[in-house]
């Protein structure tokens, strides 16, 4: 019997192949209202990546002569690596690195889509199941949107990195509800909120700026779904259960911290410029030390800082694992902050933008689709 570590009936689950449990007449009358607000809010942040009223993928950007992200965001270009490249090559290396990062985000969105769909197969509460299906729909449009952006700027994405691919496979395939919710809804979604906030605040590409804001209008609610689980579950855990959840979160954090942006993972990029990845790694280490990394993590939009804040404010991090995070992040500083995430403000602006479009949009040059087809 799988131990889902559930202390609230709205997260009760069955095996993914136990469809007869979904047909239990008593089940239909047990729908929770805990997710009604975020389910109904989906109408406020609806957007269609294939409709230019929301986002226009024909927005031009010269990737051959301009960096999508600022030069200072690439450690390679602050090191001896830059001395081996002319200006054109430096721009290409920067944009290929951005392509690699956005490819990882695309793969992460596919993981979130598949994981949300897997929750539909196991969650018994109709309200929880409806929320999971709603998130599945929203993750699907993220896959469409990032696919289209990458196709527009480069043609195709990079393959998933070994580390990220392994983590996503573990999360999607996990049978335990707590692993899915802590790993994806809190940790990966927290990571995503930080990444999108960073892209939105720093990018030189107006198309990427719009795309990340639109995605954040959805992700802010996905992030809240995980927070609801934490608020209803963490205070009720036994010591042994809390240790298991806390250790799982720490394991996932270390995986993404040490491997997600690891230079070894990007060796296919360096090969395009005749650079050995080991040499690039050593060159970057000379200018980007652990102290530099800790300083970078202090930024409110840093992807890992947002992730850690999510875990800390949810009560998952205790004195047992706090030193692991404290090595990289000022935990005392986060202690004194509110629970608001940096991405929430950007998402709120995006929702206001979408409300205006959705209230005034008209179908032009299209025949309305009828129920009869």
pLDDT digits (tens), the chain, 373 positions: 567 788 899 999 999 999 999 999 999 999 999 999 999 988 889 999 999 999 999 999 999 999 999 998 898 999 999 999 999 999 999 999 999 999 999 999 999 999 999 999 999 999 999 999 999 999 999 999 999 999 999 999 999 988 889 999 999 999 899 999 988 888 888 788 888 988 999 999 999 999 999 999 998 888 788 888 889 999 999 999 999 999 999 998 888 877 666 788 899 999 999 999 999 999 988 887 766 666 665 565 577 787 888 899 899 999 999 999 888 788 988 888 887 766 778 888 999 989 889 887 655 444 444 444 4
The per-residue pLDDT for 292 is 66
Q: Which residues are CB-neighbours of 204 under 8 A, at least 6 positions away?
A: 61, 66, 67, 68, 69, 70
Instruction: Please list, in sequence order, all residues whose beta carbon lies within 8 angstroms of the beta carbon of residue 270, skipping any fewer than 6 positions away.
Output: 93, 263, 276, 277, 280
Does residue 344 sit within a domain?
yes
Evaluate whether residue 368 is within a structural domain: no
For residue 96, the model assigns a pLDDT of 97
Assess contact for 217 and 351: CB atoms under 8 A. yes
Within-domain flag for 296:
yes
**Which pair of tokens denotes residue 226?**
């995980």
Beta carbons within 10 angstroms of residue 261's beta carbon: 19
The whole-number pLDDT of residue 364 equals: 44
Residue 233 lies in a domain: yes
Radius of gyration over every alpha carbon of the chain, rounded to an integer in angstroms:
21
Residue 13 phi, psi (nearest 5): -145, 160
Backbone angles phi, psi at 262, to 5 degrees: -70, 135
Q: Which two tokens stand for residue 323?
A: 């030193």
pLDDT at 291: 66
Cβ contact 283:80 at 8 Å? yes
SS3 315: coil
pTM listed for this prediction: 0.91
> What's residue 286's pLDDT?
87
pLDDT of residue 294: 60
What phi and psi values does residue 123 have, to the nearest 5 degrees? -75, 130
Domain region containing 123: 39-359
Torsion, CA 8, CA 10, CA 14, CA 20, rounded to 10: 140
> How far is Cα 93 from Cα 281, in angstroms, rounded to an integer?
15
The domain spanning residue 100 has which CATH number? 1.10.620.20
How many helices (DSSP H) and strands (DSSP E) are in the chain?
A: 15, 0
Domain assignment of residue 29, yes or no: no
* CB 303 within 8 Å of CB 196: no
Report residue 307 as tokens.
């992730």
Contact between 226 and 186 under an 8 Å Cβ cutoff? The reply is yes
97 Cα distance to chain centroid: 18
Q: Give domain status of residue 71, yes or no.
A: yes
Tokens of 28: 């239909």
CB 160 within 8 A of CB 168: yes
In a domain, 313, yes or no: yes
Cα separation of 169 and 353, whole Å?
35
How many domains in the chain?
1
**pLDDT the model gives residue 153:** 98
Backbone angles phi, psi at 220, to 5 degrees: -60, -35
d(CA 55, CA 208): 10
Q: Residue 25 falls within a domain, yes or no?
A: no
């Amino acid at each position: 019997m799988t131990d889902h570590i559930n202390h609230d009936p709205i997260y009760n689950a069955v095996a993914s192949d136990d469809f007869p449990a979904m047909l239990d007449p008593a089940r239909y009358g047990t729908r929770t209202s805990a997710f009604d607000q975020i389910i109904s809010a989906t109408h406020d942040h609806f957007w269609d990546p294939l409709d230019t009223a929301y986002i226009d993928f024909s927005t031009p950007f010269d990737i051959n002569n301009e960096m999508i992200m600022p030069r200072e965001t690439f450690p390679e270009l602050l090191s001896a690596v830059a001395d081996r490249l002319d200006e054109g090559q430096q721009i290409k290396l920067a944009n290929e690195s951005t392509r690699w990062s956005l490819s990882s985000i695309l793969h992460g969105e596919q993981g979130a889509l598949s994981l949300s769909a897997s929750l539909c197969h196991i969650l018994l509460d109709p309200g929880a199941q409806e929320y999971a299906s709603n998130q599945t729909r929203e993750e699907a449009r993220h896959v469409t949107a990032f696919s289209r952006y990458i196709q527009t700027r480069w043609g195709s994405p990079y393959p998933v990195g070994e580390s990220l691919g392994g983590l996503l496979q573990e999360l999607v395939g996990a049978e335990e509800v707590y692993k899915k919710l802590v790993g994806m809804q809190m940790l990966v979604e927290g990571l995503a909120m930080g990444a999108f906030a960073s892209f939105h605040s720093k990018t030189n590409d107006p198309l990427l700026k719009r795309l990340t804001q639109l995605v954040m209008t959805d992700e802010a609610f996905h992030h809240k779904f995980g927070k609801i689980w934490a608020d209803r579950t963490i205070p009720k855990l036994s010591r042994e259960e809390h240790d298991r959840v806390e250790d799982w979160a720490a394991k996932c954090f270390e995986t993404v911290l040490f491997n997600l942006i690891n230079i070894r993972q990007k060796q296919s990029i360096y090969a395009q410029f005749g650079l050995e990845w080991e040499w690039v790694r050593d060159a970057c280490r000379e200018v980007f030390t652990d102290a530099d990394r800790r300083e970078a993590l202090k930024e409110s939009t840093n992807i890992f800082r947002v992730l850690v804040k999510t875990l800390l404010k949810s009560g998952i991090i205790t004195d047992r694992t706090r030193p692991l995070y404290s090595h990289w992040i000022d935990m005392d500083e986060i202690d004194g902050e509110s629970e608001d995430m940096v991405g929430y403000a950007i998402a709120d602006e995006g929702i206001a933008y979408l409300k205006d479009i959705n209230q005034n949009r008209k179908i032009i040059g299209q025949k309305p689709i009828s129920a009869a087809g």
